[in-house]
Amino acid sequence: MKVVETIDEVRACVAEARAAGKVVGLVATMGALHAGHVSLVNAARASSGLVVVSIFVNPTQFGPTEDFSRYPRTPQADIETCRRNGADVVFMPGVETIYGPGGKTEVRVRDLGETLCGRSRPGHFAGVCTVVGKLFNIVAPDRAFFGAKDYQQATIIRRMTADLNFPVEIVVCPTVREADGLAMSSRNAYLTPSERQQATALYESLCLAEWMIRQAHPPADEVIAAMRAHLTSRSGGAAVDYVQIVDPDTLQDVQSTSDPVLLALAVRFGQTRLIDNMRVG
């Protein structure tokens, strides 16, 4: 396994693999790798001749009051995780390498980035799309692997990839959960023991909503009210950012639950904001 920091180095690795006829898979991460990331590396390993894992805490997707400075950074542990799980190249660029001096270009996907997390995190998805677009240009993968926990992000990246004609297949892998249902996230490390226990309410509320929809397909407002009531009763002083039921493709709010829907929510436990979702139907 090679650990590289420059664009020329990672491109040289990819060029060598392509000359050997290998398929290139990319797993784009911000580090602090956990079992969810490992599942993406495993999926890439199963269908790619060269697996590139990028580790870059992207400053442009953090708002001015968000947690960029304290976002968990565990580079040596991440390198070892990649080594154990069959990555071929770990690309660890600095901010200057990715953005250069005075970069002024950003990529923005309209509509899809303005609902759900986009309402409370303006500019977030422009930062995501810009860095992923840059990684696609730098690495030129055949396939890129993302997790379903970040459903909105994956949907936006798929749209950007189609709109900008990137020759990249977007592969979305299932959410990996702890034994009690909490979706794995690098931010889980922020939770205090009591917050960690409260956070199980996220998955519980999704399961409650799924049960309600499968039983009787009630209006979305009724399901959302039940989800909010469960979150309030189980999560103490946690602050609900949003609970929405949306069309899985357009991410726009819906009222009918007879057709396939996406249940999505974001809740803040202390200083830690967690998201989760479930597709039903």
Dist. CA 68–CA 83, nearest whole Å: 26
Catalytic annotation present for 37:
yes
Dist. CA 39–CA 173, nearest whole Å: 8
Active-site hit among 34, 37, 124, 230: 37
CB 230 within 8 A of CB 205: yes
Helical packing angle, 220-234 and 200-216, nearest 10°: 150
Q: What are phi and psi of 129, to 5 degrees?
A: -65, -40
Q: Which residues participate in catalysis according to the annotation?
A: 37
